[in-house]
Amino acid sequence: MNVVAQPLAQPIARPAPPAPYGMLAELTHRCPLQCPYCSNPVDLDRRTVELDTQTWLRVFSEAAKLGVLQVHLSGGEPTARRDLEQMIRHCVEVGLYTNLITAGVGVTPERLAAISDAGIDHVQLSFQGATAEVTDKVSNFRGAHERKLAVAREVRRLGLPLTINSVVHRANIHQIPDFIELALELGAGRIEIAHSQYYGWALRNRGALMPTRDQVFWALDVVEEARARLKGQLTIDAVVPDYYAKYPKPCMNGWGRQSLNVTPAGKVLPCHAAETIPGLDFWNVREHALEDIWLNAPSFNAFRGTDWMPDLCKSCERKEKDWGGCRCQAMAIAGDAAATDPACHKSPLHAHLLALAEADAAGGEVAYDYRRYVVPDRAN
């Protein structure tokens, strides 16, 4: 059913925030992989509650009108949606740059060709390891690595730009040089080396995923050397685990400042993990226009700007650089989403955060709690 959005709920009584330029569209939570570091919520949206095609098309139109420049088509596995090509064509029509974020294991050359013909601008392909042994073990999917390699080569054969996305943790951090070489071999223009971030399902597996401090700083040295050596040939983005940081990351470049996230069921979130914070009211695109949500939803205004900050953050010279750090991490560690992010060395919980990391990293081999999602026979 195509739901018609209602007009703005109320006049805007505060200075309007700048328009977002990015939107993560989680088209589905269905996924053939079972990665233990999965960043999706613990409770996944089922296929029966996913937005229908026409509602997604309306959301994309509203996003373009709001000022969004690029949309990341994600999941789960976005190619589980049979209407993906229709969505891509619509995004092209309304002027949105489209990035497909895929695991690649179920994508045939024919489907890739159709996605390319629809006008996709960029493909981001995940690898759980730089070798088949690691990829297949982490994803709990036999043959995943070879399928990903085939998809990467087909993406480049079609002339599409390619990013390799590698989530790094204890089982594969030693493979960072190999990930970089793999990206070069596959003709990728960019690689994202992102350490696991511990929210939701990944938090359950922190004891099995956390690398040691020495491993993390070795990895940083490897990345910096590769950046200098491959400048102009390969862009390398890196995200370190907050547990070993001195300063918090400017999560989403500030809550409700630059981007938004639409879940498969239509809830709009200020960040991917925002549902881990209890008490926030997330408005849904079934009842509200995207502009209304961006400007007026209580969840977006809860931690927007600096007024909400505790005194320790308000008095900090970095308050409009870090924007308070990560609210979901403050919730997970401090039990209070408005607390100073424990990743900050000024936080009274910073030493506790580091102690948690060191204890997990010293725990030895721990079995994964795999994320399991049974893919229905029939997709949208």
Q: Read off the pLDDT of residues 46-67 as tens digits, 9 standing for 90 and up.
A: 999 999 999 999 999 999 999 9
- The reply to whether 217 and 327 lie within a common domain is no
Residue that is written with structure tokens 């936080």 in the block: 347
Same domain as 333, residue 227 = no
Q: What percent of the chain is predicted at pLDDT more than 70?
A: 94
Average pLDDT over residues 286-313: 96
Q: Position 178: which residue type?
A: D
Q: Is residue 79 part of a domain?
A: yes
Please identify, among 194, 216, 241, the residue that sits at the C-terminal boundary of a domain. 241
Domain for residue 189, yes or no? yes
DSSP assignment of 45-99, as one string?
A: PPGGGSPPHHHHHHHHHHHHHHT--EEEEESS-GGG-TTHHHHHHHHHHHT-EEE
Q: Which tens digit of pLDDT belongs to each residue from 64-103? A: 999 999 999 999 999 999 999 999 999 999 999 999 999 9
More confident residue, 372 or 112: 112
Q: Is residue 146 scored above 80 in pLDDT? A: yes
Q: What is the pLDDT of residue 169?
A: 96
Is 38 labeled as ligand-binding? yes
Instruction: Characterize the bridge pairing of strands 259-262 and 268-269.
Output: antiparallel
Residues 224 and 349 in one domain: no
Q: Which residue has the higher pLDDT, 42 or 121?
A: 121
Query: Among candidates 121, 7, 17, 5, which has minimal Cα distance to 69?
Result: 121
At 113 the pLDDT is 98
Q: What tokens were used for 236?
A: 């390398």
Asked, as a colleague might, if the bond just before 76 is cis with ω within 30 of 0, I would say yes
Dist CA 106 CA 237 (whole Å):
26
Q: Residues 223, 337: one domain?
A: no
Q: Which residue has the higher pLDDT, 3 or 380?
A: 380
Co-location of 129 and 226 in the same domain: yes
DSSP secondary structure string, 229-280? HTTTT-EEEEE--GGG-SS---GGGSTTTSEEEE-TTSBEESSTTGGGSTT-
Examine the domain organization and report whether 46 and 185 are in the same domain: yes
Domain boundaries, position 33: 22-241
Q: Please check whether residues 325 and 237 belong to one and the same domain.
A: no
Of 221, 241, 261, the residue that ends a domain is: 241
**Confidence category of residue 365, pLDDT binned at 50, 70, 90:** confident
pLDDT of residue 3: 39
* Whether residues 235 and 310 fall in one domain: no
Backbone angles phi and psi of 193, in degrees to 5 = -105, 95
Q: Considering 200, 217, 241, which residue would you say is the last residue of a domain? A: 241
* Beta carbons of 212 and 364 less than 8 angstroms apart: no
Q: Is the pLDDT of residue 12 over 80?
A: no
Residue 297 lies in a domain: no
Number of domains in the chain: 2
Q: What is the full DSSP assignment across 324-357?
A: TS-HHHHHHHHS-TTSPPTTSTTSTTHHHHHHHH
The one-character DSSP state at 305 is S
pLDDT tens digits for range 319-336: 999 999 999 999 999 999
> What is the rounded distance in angstroms from the CA atom of residue 325 to the CA atom of residue 303?
11
Q: For residue 312, count CB atoms less than 10 angstroms from its CB and return exposed for 0-12, middle for 13-18, buried for 19 or more.
A: middle
Query: Is 359 a domain residue?
Result: yes
CA atoms of 124 and 113, how far apart (whole Å) = 16
Domain shared by 151 and 230, yes or no: yes
Residue 116 to residues 55, 88, 162, 204, 220: CA-CA distances in angstroms?
23, 9, 12, 37, 35
Please say if the pLDDT value at position 376 is more than 50: no
In a domain, 8, yes or no: no
pLDDT band at 374 (very low <50, low <70, confident <90, very high): low
pTM of the complete model: 0.92
**216 pLDDT more than 70:** yes
Task: Return mean pLDDT, the chain.
Answer: 93
Q: Is 31 known as a binding-site position?
A: yes
Residue 270 counted as domain residue: no
Regarding whether 310 and 232 lie in a shared domain, the answer is no
For residue 255, being part of any structural domain is answered with: no
Domain check: are 201 and 348 in the same one? no
**Residue 7 falls within a domain, yes or no?**
no
pLDDT at 9: 44
- For residues 282 and 2, which has the higher predicted lDDT (pLDDT)? 282
- Return the pLDDT at 10: 46
Rounded mean pLDDT of 269-287? Answer: 96
Check pLDDT > 70 for residue 13: no
CATH of the domain at 137: 3.20.20.70
In this structure, the answer to whether residues 53 and 163 fall within a common structural domain is yes
Give mean pLDDT, residues 122-147.
97
